[in-house]
Amino acid sequence: MTQRRSVRVVLATTTAVLAAALAGSGVAHAQPWGPLAPPNPFLGPTGTSTMHGDAGSSDATPFAGPGAGPVSVGSAPLAAACPTLLEGSDGMIVALCTSVLGQVPTVHLIDPSALPRDGVAFGGASVAQLPLEKGSLLGGVYAYLDDADRLVAVDGHRQLVRVAHSRTAGGWSLRIDESTDLRGSIAEDDAVTGLAPDWDGTVWFATGKGIVGTVDQAGAVRTVALPEGEQVQNSISTSPHGTAVATTHALYELTTGADGSPHVVWRAPYDRGGARKPGQLSWGTGSTPTYFGPQAGTEYVAIVDNADEQVSLLVYRSGTGELVCSQPVLAEGGPGSENSPIGIGNTVIVAGTYGYPYPTVPDGAGPAVPESAPFTGGMTRVDLDSSGCHTVWENGVRSSAVPHLSTADGLVYTVARGEMLGSSTTTTPVDGFAFTAVDPVSGAVLHTTPMPGTIVNDPLQMSALITPRGEYVQGTITGVVAVSPRHG
């Protein structure tokens, strides 16, 4: 959702819960992190224009977060689940949410200066709204900001839309600035599950039923069908080498041919296990592919497989598909991850989601085996060197959001669920959540601060936005929570 994928959840269970106060303190070790991938010229600002930070889904950002010191926490209910939080060059936050009533995908324009620094603020933060056509559970979840600060998404009527925002004397407004009809290329019972631009300005998309397509700058649409039965249930990633697509059976890298049509450069099957696992939304990898590398930031592409007893991080060489290494991860937690890994330099960090209590799953996901399991969580850091891959550390953080690494302050930020250091791994409506800063060098928890403690503030493994102002803005199943440094 990797997550992180949102679900149009049934939000009837809005039981109040107790906040969890988690202990932690310390200072991050000084270590340079990087390089980040080169900026994609057809995206908006680096670090804030995609759900996973950049076109390659590194989940790394050049901006410092709130840090490991005192923070302020405020909540802005929007009556909507908000998996996609992006920020344009004007500093306005563009959110793609799904309303609680009717489960309608809705674009919210959020004024960050109106987000509460403490407590709860009803109304005021969202200064404009634009409903989009409703589609499938995962359709319309992934989106990005283009180089004109427009939100690019595919709606439920299979229209590729670019949503612009502007301010007039009457206030802020949102409008569909441009639209491309994809109905001739996508079946009525299919939906786009991921999209991203390449370095030529071509928009790539993938559908749940395994169609990969391109839309060039003239609006021409071309597609290729992946093998029958392979589904795409995560977003896609792009680099100067190509476009990475993970299906429920294999990882692909594609490029465009001389006629502009997408074609497969390489395919790498992985161990998808015997069934969907609890805490995952499909039978296969839960990873949006992650590009990373020590020189250009894009030499490698990684996913986590779905093997039954022990999952592994798989690292391939982009451009060729050579398997660089396979390393077991999440040995102390359950065998599963529904999140895109963090990838930066020679380092990958994976967060476990095995057993996470998603309230619903996409159509066709199949039953989980077992039906449910304790949510143990846990994170694993893996480093690459000349001899291959090796595990640096594992911890017990019960991450309930997609973790992000800041190259500016050297911290990993996430939201932890429940009593992270306690013995219980059972999830309940009274778990509570806490903003958490982790030292990526040691895996130690350096700081925690309780967040609003109700089940309606579950981050549900969604991705946060780290802003240039040092704020951590996290989507939840009913709105957003903003964490900012406390000064004075």
**What is the percentage of the chain residues whose pLDDT exceeds 90?**
81
User: Is the pLDDT reported for residue 339 higher than 80?
Assistant: yes
pLDDT score of 487:
81
pLDDT score of 137:
54
- Calculate the alpha carbon distances from 130 to 96, 158, 164, 176, 254 in Å: 10, 17, 10, 9, 33
Instruction: Give the CATH class of 60-485.
Output: mainly beta
| Mean pLDDT of the region 187-191 | 94
Which residues, listed in sequence order, are joined to residue 195 by a DSSP beta bridge? 205
Handedness of CA 6, 329, 208, 164 (dihedral sign): positive
**What is the percentage of the chain residues whose pLDDT exceeds 70?**
91
How does pLDDT run across 43-61, given as a tens digit for each residue? Answer: 999 999 999 999 999 999 9
pLDDT score of 354:
97
User: Is the pLDDT reported for residue 421 higher than 70?
Assistant: no
pLDDT score of 430:
77
Instruction: Supply the mean pLDDT for the chain.
Output: 91
In angstroms and rounded to an integer, the radius of gyration of the C-alpha atoms of the chain is 20
What is the distance in angstroms between the CA of the first residue and the CA of the last residue of the chain?
37
| Mean pLDDT of the region 412-432 | 76
- The CA distance from 258 to 110, in Å, is 42
pLDDT score of 419:
62
- The CA distance from 185 to 188, in Å, is 10
Helix or strand (DSSP H, E) at 244: strand 242-246
pLDDT grade, residue 20 (50/70/90)? very low
Q: Exposed e or buried b for every residue in 126-149, given b needs 16+ CB within 10 A?
A: bbbbbebebbbbbbbbbbbbbbeb
Residue with tokens 């017990």: 396
pLDDT score of 119:
84
pLDDT grade, residue 98 (50/70/90)? very high
How does pLDDT run across 268-305, given as a tens digit for each residue? Answer: 999 999 999 999 999 999 999 999 999 999 999 999 99
Residue with tokens 């669920």: 417
User: Is the pLDDT reported for residue 342 higher than 90?
Assistant: yes
Higher pLDDT, 137 or 263: 263
- The CA distance from 41 to 142, in Å, is 19
Cβ(248)–Cβ(270) under 8 Å? Answer: no
